[in-house]
Amino acid sequence: MLGTRKLFCGVVRFCMAFLPSIAMPLLVHAGSGDGRYLIRNITNGQPRYRVGSAQIDGTNITWERKTLSVVPGGLHSGVDVYLYNGTNISNITNGAVWTNNNPKISGSNITWRGNDYDSLMAVYLFDGTSTKVISDQSMDSSWPQISGQNVVWTSWLEQPDDGNVYLYDGVTTTKISDNELTPFPSNPQISGDYVTWRSRERLFLYDGEDILDISGDCPNITRADMYGGNIVWGTIAHEICLYNGTSTTKLYTDRQGYIYPAIDGASVVTSGGEASGGGYHYDLTTKALTQLPGIGIEPEISGSRIVSEGSNDQILLFDRGTVTQL
């Protein structure tokens, strides 16, 4: 059990969003307390290029973008991973393989899944200088997540039902799940050495030694997130639940939101929708629930900042109190 042991979280909370394949740039919004927002286009608005899966850690932002290039016989369409370091944009995959998507970032480390036309999906790791494959290329791999130098993902031979969760610690890779106990593992999350994943609509925690079912009275998991000793998730019944290292409790019910919670410190945010007009912020200390107008799908939180997909197909960064220009 987690008990009172401290979890180390090297990951600033992430945001994932997918934008349509039309002339739509990746936009980062920084907002003031009065609801006004500054907009800076950090992808230069390449027309007809799809951008999405934006992730943020400090001043570093990574995303995927569909690219078109002329090759013998016609056009080649692929997906590359880009990095914005607060000043410059660089293409860190540069067409090395056909498809590179779902990037995740922690510090200067970025992980993603990628493959060529005739190969299985593999997990890649960029350490700020070079890129390498860290998954077994004889298996399909998906759902990479990163915390510091630790990367977690799922791999399977034939069907996702046969899959397991793997943890790379910067040197070695270890299978940490039991397929008989947790078949079809998906959407792993990591904080330091601790990992959660979903299996048959229940949530499991690997604490470095044991695999624990922490779902309690909150099954039918949609998405989980973790920070320190706290793990938060949503259910298809629109319940927001918390595991604090000892027990599982229901925090509140959000009948109008998209039930994709994120956590940072004592703050929990959930996504909104057209019906709700925004998302919600829940304070674990005061138990206060506050509506957040404008928060869209799958928000992520880091301190006073929240990122989400906006209603106008944009990536929005909400900074409470002051205006921040990225």
Residue 217 has a pLDDT of: 93
**Which helix (H) or strand (E) segment is 72 a member of?**
none
Residue 251 has a pLDDT of: 92
Q: Are 211 and 205 in contact (CB under 8 A)?
A: yes
Q: Are 68 and 77 in contact (CB under 8 A)?
A: yes
Burial class (CB in 10 A: 0-12, 13-18, 19+), 130: exposed
The Cα 163–Cα 24 span in angstroms is 36
Indicate the SS3 state at residue 73. Answer: coil
The Cα 323–Cα 124 span in angstroms is 35
Q: Are 225 and 237 in contact (CB under 8 A)?
A: no
Residue 160 has a pLDDT of: 64
Q: Are 278 and 269 in contact (CB under 8 A)?
A: no
Residue 326 has a pLDDT of: 32
Query: What is the CB neighbour count within 10 angstroms for residue 46?
Result: 16
Residue 26 has a pLDDT of: 40
Residue 243 has a pLDDT of: 96
Q: Are 235 and 259 in contact (CB under 8 A)?
A: yes
Residue 311 has a pLDDT of: 54
pTM (2 decimals)? 0.78
Indicate the SS3 state at residue 215. Answer: coil
The Cα 127–Cα 108 span in angstroms is 6
Residue 169 has a pLDDT of: 95
Over the stretch 284-305, which tens digit does the pLDDT of each residue have? 999 998 887 777 677 778 777 7
The domain limits of the chain are 27-319
Q: What is the pLDDT along the chain (326 residues), one digit of tens a residue?
A: 333 233 323 332 222 232 233 233 343 433 334 333 333 444 444 433 455 667 777 778 777 777 766 656 666 667 888 888 878 888 898 877 778 888 898 989 999 998 876 789 999 999 999 999 999 999 999 999 999 999 999 998 877 667 899 999 999 999 999 888 899 999 999 998 899 999 988 999 999 999 999 999 999 998 899 888 899 999 988 899 999 999 999 998 876 666 788 888 899 988 765 555 678 889 999 999 888 777 767 777 877 777 776 555 565 667 654 333 33
Q: Are 204 and 197 in contact (CB under 8 A)?
A: yes
Residue 57 has a pLDDT of: 79
Residue 271 has a pLDDT of: 79
The Cα 239–Cα 120 span in angstroms is 36
Over the stretch 152-197, which tens digit does the pLDDT of each residue have? 999 988 776 678 999 999 999 999 998 888 999 999 999 988 999 9
The Cα 123–Cα 71 span in angstroms is 26
Q: What are residue 264's DSSP bridge partners?
A: 267
Residue 171 has a pLDDT of: 95
Q: Which superfamily does CATH assign the domain made up of 27-319 to?
A: Prolyl oligopeptidase, N-terminal domain (2.130.10.120)
DSSP structure string for 276-323 = TTEEEEEETTT--EEEEET--EEEEEETTEEEEE-TTS-EEEEESSS-
Residue 39 has a pLDDT of: 32
Residue 86 has a pLDDT of: 74
Q: Are 173 and 149 in contact (CB under 8 A)?
A: no
From 71, 103, 33, 20, select the one nearest 313 (Cα to Cα): 20
